[in-house]
Amino acid sequence: MQALPPIRKRNRVSLSCLECKRRKTKCDKKKPKCTRCEKLQVPCTYMHSTPGQFPKAHLQVPGLLAYNKLEQAESLGSPYPRSPTSPPVASSAGTDSGIEMPAFNVQNWRDIRVSLDDSEDTIVALEQKRYLHKPYSVLAMLQRDHYLRALVGSVWGFTLSGDHRYLGKAKDGSPAAGEKSVYHFIGDVIQQSSKQQTQLSPAIFLNNSLFACDFSLEKAILSENKLPDALIEIIEELQSLLPTMPALEFLLKNFYSTLYPIYPFLDIPSFEESIRKVLHNRGDGSSHYILDVDPPEVRRLLENLCILVMILKISHAAVLSNDDAVTRQGTMSLNLEGNDVLPEKVVELAQRILLMLNISLYTSENSVCCLLYYWVYQSLLSSNASFKLPAPVILGLGAILQLATILGLHKDPSSFKILTKPAQSDRSILNYRRKLWLGVTVVRMSELLPNGCGFFLSTNVFAKTFMQRCRDDSTYMSAVIKDNPNATGYDIPLHELYYNEYLMFHEWGKLGTACSPVAEPTSLSSINKILTQCEHRLQRLFPLSYLSVTTDSENLPETSIGHIDCAKGNPEVNYHHIRAAKTFTSNCQGRLILQTVTGALAHNLENKLRCSSSQILLEPLQYYIKESFRYCTELTKLLMKYLMNELNSVLPQKFGYAYNRMMSICLLRVFMSLTSLVLRLSYYEVYLEGVVGSASFLYQNVDNSRGSSLLHLAQGAKEKLVLLLQVLVTVSSRTICKTHSRCEKTVSLIKYILHLIEIGHLVEATNRLWDQKLAGNEIPKPVRNAILFKWGIDVEDAKAVKDELLDANIMEAFDEELLSFFCSSLENLDLKQASEMFKMNQRTENEPLAAGALSESLLDDANIFSGDVLKYFDVFDDFLGDGSSLNLI
């Protein structure tokens, strides 16, 4: 027999991961971590080994056992771990297959690493539409909250299917206490909205501004020695639509005193100089201005004319929503009531002027300023405001950012060499550029950060901008004061407040980056450190003590009042009011972001605990539930103080238009958090009733048992939460819902949920659709697809959906300490006065219906509004286009 050739072995040392048997070539060489180990959340452990030799102990390590279980789960078709592109359908792992998820191989829960941007994102494809749910968007938060999505999915499914057999039924058999349909609570609102002519603002002109042509207005003027005929036609049409001279000056003065201090993008001296060259008296006694544009200065004058149009639209919308007596008197005397005074056509004409200026090719500071004010107008418009982030919104913010970076606004202008003609050498341009960059950042971050995106603008770019000055031993505000040409300096305090906002968004951006890192997950200890830094920075820059300082004193120092220099008068700016307004908005927005982040962390840990038997997840889950609830109650207290007119002395009503949309978004998030907690406590009651029932089989007196004590605590906390929901619904219905349609939709849905709580049908309504599926009743395919694509639940997993709501691991998190924390936090809100208001409101609602309102019989008819009711759920939804959801299934 021929001898076998000798076996040749490579004479090199290799590294093998002891946790998953992966070679180092499968790991990151700089930060060794295997993909499998990362999924299992176990650290990679390496040892030197010669080829063909493996230690026997390697086969028994916990990480390998977990890895084998993961392989087994994948072979059985378990949906864990989900693909980033798959919808977050309900999983039955741990209930049907009996597979336990791997334990966390850490000694302290603060060392657990999380990333809210890895397997939590979903891409939904509906026809030609593709969109990605952001980590903290309203729909993403609802989909990851298994309790909220079960309730909304069930109500949505029965509403879409048209099955209303459950209506009018009550547990005690009383018809008066029977369940009413969701139509009952939104019928009047639908009828009112159908009568109103909702005028949608034109979409931002991205298709023309993003892709520039070679057209140059200056070259066209030189070739013809006059303005182009198309431009002359636009200017003449705009001239005919502008209000009278007194009305225009009134709106301009109102903007300077109330809205400019909140959004101080503008360089007022240059703006005033330009518009006074455009606006001319007719000379024939007419009350309207003539628009005259000098060709040599055509670009600067037209840019400022477009800014004027945006300013007038913002100011007009603000005075219409203002309840201040002086403002209302001026509005009525000048006939400024109604939208026809300054029609939407003027915005379209301003857009056409900007397109003729070809601002994407010939970019300037004025064009960026105009786009910023256009964005402010669109975002604050109550009839067209959205809580969502549609694709045009993100593209529009990106376009503004690109124009700003092309101009170099993100760099400190003090380091530039200014090479201009002597006539154009004005140091005011430096502060103008600084304010524009602050505006680009704050406007963009205020839209993106609460939804969990756009972090890197606030973190990476920030380090390369104004922070350069810190290394030169000079502060930012010292450069602002040095470059301010105005002797009165009215703009410096406003500039400083806006810079403080910029600093806060930088801190919130760091928090978002830590929770959704690009490279590797972040430890909870690092996230907690940034959370603490955000709170401390907010307390230092915008302390709530600013809201307790009265501004009605006659002995206010002269430095608290500023006067803006303009051609027609000197509008007054009260710095105390502006500081209080900035403090209120920053604290509301800061607590909104912190509540959203901690709530997302709680959902992340809860979903992991549901699939794992590791008790190390229990403590961090309780911690983040407490933190999220603390931020929620603090935000609720701020909102209630404003809505109940307790801050009128420091926050006059004339500033309300600037932050009504922000308050509406805060209310939606608060309603979602409180409803989710009420749902959890309702299921916890069911869980404890089973525990007490089991104990009563063995013991005669179970009143003093731990289960009975927990049940009383849970019921007490739930009653207080329901009262808080009722109070918020009452105060918001009387105030902000009258002017903000999105808030009105939200409150209408919460009224329906409160009705379910009142008659004791909340748990039943949440289980209704899933019980129908488990009972063998067929759910129509369009309904199943709609629930899957909209709420991320596969109806086929109905058993898993129900079982997750009573998961023992989650129920154990609600111990005595956590329930006592809920009760004490709610007692600190002092709801006695608010509850009296709620009772008075109930008596008012029981009065006879007003003329034009729908009768009870019509409101209970589930078919009368079937085409409109589903649209009310879009307050939770991401943007799907103009079509109804019914057309997308």
pTM over cut 0.85: no
AA letter at 97: S
Per-residue model confidence as pLDDT tens digits over 217-270: 877 787 777 888 889 999 999 999 999 999 999 999 999 999 999 999 999 999
CA distance 253 to 564: 10
**What's the angle, vertex CA 672, arms to CA 669 and CA 674, rounded to 5?**
110
pLDDT at 753: 93
How far apart are the C-alpha atoms of 113 and 569, rounded to whole Å?
59
Rounded Cα distance between 741 and 729, Å, is 14
Q: What band does 888 get if pLDDT is binned at 50, 70 and 90?
A: very low
Q: In this structure, what is the dihedral angle of CA atoms 662, 667, 672, 675, given to the nearest 10 degrees?
A: 170
Amino acid at 559: T
pLDDT top residue among 750 and 830: 750
Give a three-class secondary structure readout of 36-83. Answer: HHHHHCCCCCEEEECCCCCCHHHHHCHHHHHHHHHHHHHHCCCCCCCC
Going from N- to C-terminal start, the domains of the chain cover 14-105, 145-196+704-819+830-888, 208-382
Confidence of residue 486 (pLDDT cuts 50, 70, 90): low
Cα dihedral 825, 830, 836, 839 in deg (nearest 10): -10
Q: Are 756 and 179 in contact (CB under 8 A)?
A: yes
The residues that bridge with 124 in the sheet, in sequence order, are: 131
Angle at 691 between CA 687 and CA 697, to 5 degrees: 145
d(C-alpha 217, C-alpha 510), whole Å:
43
Residue with the larger pLDDT of the pair 539 and 41: 539
Q: How confident is the model at residue 766 (pLDDT cuts 50, 70, 90)?
A: very high
Q: Considering just the CA atoms, what is the radius of gyration of the chain in Å?
A: 31
Contact 353, 212 (CB under 8 A): no
- Distances from the Cα of 361 to the Cα of 251, 357, 404, 412, angstroms: 32, 9, 13, 23
Strands 279-281 and 289-291, sheet pairing: antiparallel
Q: For the residues 771-794, what does the mean pLDDT come to?
A: 86
Q: What backbone torsions phi and psi does residue 48 show, to the nearest 5 degrees?
A: -75, 135
Cis ω before 81 (30° cut-off from 0): yes
The alpha-helical segments, DSSP class H, found in 806-869 are: 808-811, 816-827, 832-845, 856-859
CA atoms within 13 A on the CB side of 411: 9
Distance CA 837, CA 558 (A): 40
Query: What integer pLDDT is reported at residue 465 of this predicted model?
Result: 56
Residue 573, strand partner residues: 562
**677-727: per-residue pLDDT in tens?**
999 999 999 999 988 887 777 776 767 778 888 999 999 999 999 999 999
